[in-house]
Amino acid sequence: MNTNSFMSFDICPCSQRRFWIKNVGIFGAELTLNIFDWGKRQVEIGQRVAQQSQAEENLARIDKRIGIEIDNIYRMLERSKKIVEVTREAHSLCRENTRLSESRRASFPMVNKRQIRNAY
């Protein structure tokens, strides 16, 4: 549907014509409507609705995928934290073991390895 408006004003310089008025003003509006568009507008509306529903489905799918990825990454982070904690505990136990070994060696300086094995 298209709409146009127009206005014009003419002064007729020729005085030969008796039946014409010298000052003529014209104004009006024009409306163009294609009645026989064979449902073109309805088809366009249907296409837009289909595009919108497809975009909403894509948004929901991407949102779900992002949630799953965030959950997996969070679980990996928690697992890594536990591994770091266990590694720190193993390191402290290793240091304690080394300290105890050093204190045993200091208390038995002359004993060889065979005697230590037999003692335990």
Nearest to 9 by CA among 18, 19, 22: 22
Q: DSSP string of 53-107?
A: HHHHHHHHHHHHHHHHHHHHHHHHHHHHHHHHHHHHHHHHHHHHHHHHHHHHHHH
pLDDT 10s digits, 40-70: 888 899 999 999 999 999 999 999 999 999 9
The domain locations on the chain are 2-106
Residue 116 has pLDDT above 70, yes or no: no
pLDDT of residue 85: 96
More confident residue, 6 or 67: 67
Cβ atoms 27, 38 nearer than 8 A: no
Global pTM reads 0.47
